[in-house]
Structure formats: structure tokens, C-alpha cells
């Protein structure tokens, strides 16, 4: 199973268990981006996460955005 499929399956499994989750996906890159388009990170409501969208340099900001999106109940781009 591909990594993106694994993240999606994990997100679905957690959602079905009643756990709020957000799935962040790299939609575009430029320059020497550490992760390619399609890289994903699954963020749980408790702030824990799985995967990576940047190799570590922006994960904290992605977690904060995801938690705000979960609180608001709306997607973000």
C-alpha cells in the first residue's frame, strides 16, 4: 500500500473510532522542497501526528493550522 493510501486509511480508521483528525497534503512545491507533492501528515485532535510534509521544518505550523481547522470544523488550503 502506498504511503498516501496508508495515511488515508489511518485517517478513516481514526474517524470511524470517533477521533477528530485532519489530513495535510503537500499540494505544490518550488525550489528544493524536502517532500514531494502528495506527501501527507495526519494530525489528531490531541496534537499528535503521523507522517511528514516538510522533513521537520514546518510541521509545527501545520499542526497548529490543523488543530484550528478541527476546532472550526472547516477545511483549509
Residues 11-27: tens digit of each pLDDT: 999 999 999 999 999 99
The predicted structure's pLDDT at residue 1: 60
Average pLDDT, the chain: 91
Query: Is the pLDDT confidence value at 31 over 70?
Result: yes
**Stretch 44-53: mean pLDDT, rounded?**
92
Q: Write down the pTM of the prediction.
A: 0.85
HSE, side-chain direction, 13 A CA sphere, residue 8: 8
Give the span between the Cα atoms of 45 and 22, in whole angstroms. 8
Amino acid at each position: 500500500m502506498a504511503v498516501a493510501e496508508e495515511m488515508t486509511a489511518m485517517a478513516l480508521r481514526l474517524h470511524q473510532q470517533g477521533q477528530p483528525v485532519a489530513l495535510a497534503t503537500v499540494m505544490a512545491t518550488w525550489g528544493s522542497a524536502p517532500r514531494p507533492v502528495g506527501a501527507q501528515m495526519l494530525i489528531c485532535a490531541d496534537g499528535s501526528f503521523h507522517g511528514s510534509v516538510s522533513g521537520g521544518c514546518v510541521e509545527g505550523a501545520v499542526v497548529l493550522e490543523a488543530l484550528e481547522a478541527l476546532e472550526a470544523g472547516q477545511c483549509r488550503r
